[in-house]
Chain A
Amino acid sequence: MIYLDHAATTPVKPEVLEAMLPYFTKEYGNPSSVYRLAQRNKKALDDARATVAKNLGAQPNEIFFTSGGTESDNWAIKGMAEALREKGNHIITTNIEHHAVLHTCQYLEKHGFEVTYLPVDKDGLITPAQVEAAIRPETILISVMYANNEIGTIMPIAEIGAVAKKHGIVFHTDAVQAVGQLPIDVKAQNIDLLSLSGHKFYGPKGTGVLYVRRGLKLPSYLHGGGQERGRRAGTENVPGIVGLAKAIDLAYQNLEAKNAKIKALRDYLIDGICERIPYCRLNGHREKRLPNNVNFSFEFVEGESLLLLLDMEGIAASSGSACTSGSLDPSHVLLALGLPHELAHGSVRFTLGEDNTKEEIDEVLAKLPAFVERMREMSPLYEEFVRKKQNK
Chain B
Amino acid sequence: MYSQKVMECFLHPQNVGEIKDADGVGTVGNPKCGDIMKLYLKIKDNVIEDAKFKTFGCGAAIATSTMVTQMVKGKTIEEAMKITNQAVAEALDGLPPIKMHCSCLAEEALKAALWNYAQKNNLTIDGLTPPPNYVEEEEEHAKPEDQD
A, B bound = yes
Whether A312 is near chain B, meaning CB under 8 Å from some CB there, is yes
Taken together as a complex, chains A and B put the C-alpha atoms of A381 and B29 apart, in Å, by: 12
Main secondary structure of the interface of A (DSSP, over half): helix
Please tell me which stretch of A29-37, A143-151, A339-347 contacts chain B, meaning at least 4 of its Cβ atoms lie within 8 angstroms of it: A339-347
Taken together as a complex, chains A and B put the C-alpha atoms of A378 and B65 apart, in Å, by: 10
Contact A308 B10 (CB under 8 A): yes
Taken together as a complex, chains A and B put the C-alpha atoms of A323 and B33 apart, in Å, by: 9
Q: Which chain A residue shows the least CB distance to B101?
A: A328
Q: Which chain B residue shows the least CB distance to A323?
A: B58
Taken together as a complex, chains A and B put the C-alpha atoms of A377 and B17 apart, in Å, by: 8
User: With contacts A328-B33, A391-B143 known, is A378 near B101, CB below 8 A?
Assistant: no
Taken together as a complex, chains A and B put the C-alpha atoms of A232 and B33 apart, in Å, by: 41
Please tell me which stretch of B49-57, B67-75, B82-90, B114-122 contacts chain A, meaning at least 4 of its Cβ atoms lie within 8 angstroms of it: B49-57
**CB neighbours of A330 from chain B (8 A):** 34
Taken together as a complex, chains A and B put the C-alpha atoms of A382 and B146 apart, in Å, by: 15
**CB neighbours of A305 from chain B (8 A):** 10, 57-59, 61-62
Separation in Å of the A318 CB from the closest CB of chain B?
A: 14
Q: How many residues of B contact A (CB 8 A)?
A: 32
Interface core residue of B30, B37, B140, B146 (most chain A CB under 10 Å): B146
Q: Which chain A residue shows the least CB distance to B2?
A: A308
Contact A326 B54 (CB under 8 A): no
Q: Hey, what's the 0/1 contact readout for A319-337 against B, CB within 8 Å counting as 1?
A: 0011100111010000000
Interface core residue of B37, B61, B99 (most chain A CB under 10 Å): B61
**CB neighbours of B38 from chain A (8 A):** 380, 383
Contact B31 A345 (CB under 8 A): yes
User: With contacts A321-B34, A341-B34, A345-B31 known, is A383 near B59, CB below 8 A?
Assistant: no
Which of A327, A342, A378, A382 is in CB contact (< 8 Å) with B31?
A342
User: With contacts A305-B10, A312-B11, A321-B34 known, is A378 near B147, CB below 8 A?
Assistant: no
**CB neighbours of B36 from chain A (8 A):** 380-381
Q: How many A-B residue pairs have CB under 8 A?
A: 79
Within 8 A of B (CB), among A319-375: 321-323, 326-328, 330, 340-342, 345
Contact A302 B58 (CB under 8 A): yes
**How large, as a class, is the contact surface on chain A?**
20 to 34
Main secondary structure of the interface of B (DSSP, over half): mixed
**CB neighbours of B103 from chain A (8 A):** none
User: With contacts A323-B34, A330-B34 known, is A378 near B10, CB below 8 A?
Assistant: no
Whether A300 is near chain B, meaning CB under 8 Å from some CB there, is yes
Whether A387 is near chain B, meaning CB under 8 Å from some CB there, is yes
User: With contacts A321-B34, A341-B31 known, is A387 near B140, CB below 8 A?
Assistant: yes
Taken together as a complex, chains A and B put the C-alpha atoms of A156 and B84 apart, in Å, by: 53
Within 8 A of B (CB), among A35-79: none
Q: Which chain B residue shows the least CB distance to A389?
A: B146
Which of B30, B32, B59, B140 is in CB contact (< 8 Å) with A304?
B59
Contact A387 B147 (CB under 8 A): yes
Contact B56 A308 (CB under 8 A): no
Whether A379 is near chain B, meaning CB under 8 Å from some CB there, is yes
Whether A238 is near chain B, meaning CB under 8 Å from some CB there, is no
Taken together as a complex, chains A and B put the C-alpha atoms of A328 and B104 apart, in Å, by: 14
Whether A248 is near chain B, meaning CB under 8 Å from some CB there, is no
Q: Which chain B residue shows the least CB distance to A377?
A: B16
Whether B27 is near chain A, meaning CB under 8 Å from some CB there, is yes
Taken together as a complex, chains A and B put the C-alpha atoms of A308 and B8 apart, in Å, by: 12
Whether A25 is near chain B, meaning CB under 8 Å from some CB there, is no
Which of B60, B62, B140 is in CB contact (< 8 Å) with A378?
B62
Taken together as a complex, chains A and B put the C-alpha atoms of A174 and B18 apart, in Å, by: 49
Which of B16, B31, B60 is in CB contact (< 8 Å) with A381?
B31
Contact A322 B33 (CB under 8 A): yes
User: With contacts A341-B31, A341-B34, A387-B146 known, is A302 near B56, CB below 8 A?
Assistant: yes
Knowing that A378-B16, A380-B37, A391-B146 are A-B contacts, what are 16 other residue pairs whose CB atoms are under 8 Å apart, sorted by A's residue number?
A: A302-B34, A302-B56, A305-B57, A305-B62, A322-B34, A323-B57, A327-B98, A328-B33, A340-B31, A345-B31, A378-B62, A379-B55, A380-B38, A387-B146, A390-B146, A391-B143
The 7 A-B residue pairs whose C-beta atoms are closest, nearest first, are A323-B58, A342-B31, A304-B58, A380-B54, A380-B38, A345-B34, A379-B56
- Could you list 24 examples of A-B contacts with CB < 8 Å? A300-B56, A304-B59, A305-B10, A305-B58, A308-B7, A308-B11, A321-B34, A321-B58, A323-B59, A326-B98, A328-B34, A341-B30, A342-B31, A345-B34, A378-B13, A378-B54, A378-B55, A379-B56, A381-B31, A381-B36, A381-B56, A383-B38, A387-B146, A390-B146
